[in-house]
Chain A
Amino acid sequence: SQTIHQWPATLVQPVGSPLSLECTVEGTSNPNLYWYRQAAGRGLQLLFYSVGIGQISSEVPQNLSASRPQDRQFILSSKKLLLSDSGFYLCAWSVPVPSAYSPLHFGNGTRLTVT
């Protein structure tokens, strides 16, 4: 069966420090991969999605970047964190050929606090 791993679960970082969040998927090949952010009291916002190795689409211009160095690995990074980067970050995957009937499968999330 497929599983998705996301780490760390919580992270407290000072302003200006770098960030690296990692997500890996097991049990499937060539998945679509997604990074979402959920700000306090707000809905999920798509940050990046990837349909293959090295293929990254950015939905929202910001201080963050994403990379997909391997088929089932998705990394969210920042060179210098801002206070506004605080939030709950979720990685998700879906089957390679997206359709209306392909549900998203979410990781457990990373709660990031920038101080």
Chain B
Amino acid sequence: KNEVEQSPQNLTAQEGEFITINCSYSVGISALHWLQQHPGGGIVSLFMLSSGKKKHGRLIATINIQEKHSSLHITASHPRDSAVYICAAYNNNDMRFGAGTRLTVKP
């Protein structure tokens, strides 16, 4: 079993839909990192959080430390949101990555 599990693996949505991507981890962490990998391969950091919730534009990330679970939400999804979203559990300069969720938003 992977230390960081993401679901779903693939997600197709219509433009405007509310998106949720889930991440569960089995390791102890000091923070959880959400990354966005564009079709060309480049990766951008979206959020790093250790408790509660963070919001940036249409993106919202939440984490429940007790349940070892985090979610990434996208409101009013748009085709430009199409990408692979990766969560990573961080502890003591060690980061464990999920396999990613491939999101496709259709116009």
Residues of A within 8 A of B (CB): 32, 41-46, 49, 88, 90, 92, 98-109, 111
Contacts and interface: CB of A to CB of B under 8 A. Distances in A.
B48 A43 contact: no
Interface of A is mostly: loop
Interface of B: 2, 4, 30-31, 33, 35, 40-45, 48, 50, 86, 88, 90-91, 93, 95, 97-100
A100 B99 contact: no
A106 B48 contact: no
B99 A41 contact: yes
Sort A-B residue pairs by CB-CB distance and give the 8 closest, nearest first.
Answer: A100-B31, A100-B30, A106-B43, A109-B41, A43-B97, A44-B97, A103-B45, A108-B42
Given A100-B90, A106-B43, A43 B100 contact: yes
Contacts of B86: 43-44
Contacts of B95: 46, 104
Contacts of B40: 108-109
B41 A88 contact: yes
Contacts of A106: 35, 42-45
Contacts of A45: 97
18 contacts: A41-B99, A42-B99, A43-B4, A43-B97, A43-B99, A44-B86, A88-B41, A90-B41, A100-B50, A101-B31, A102-B48, A103-B33, A104-B45, A106-B35, A108-B40, A108-B41, A108-B42, A109-B40
Nearest to A32: B93
Contacts of A100: 30-31, 48, 50, 90-91
Contacts of A99: 30
Contacts of B30: 99-100
A92 B50 CA distance: 21
A104 B43 CA distance: 10
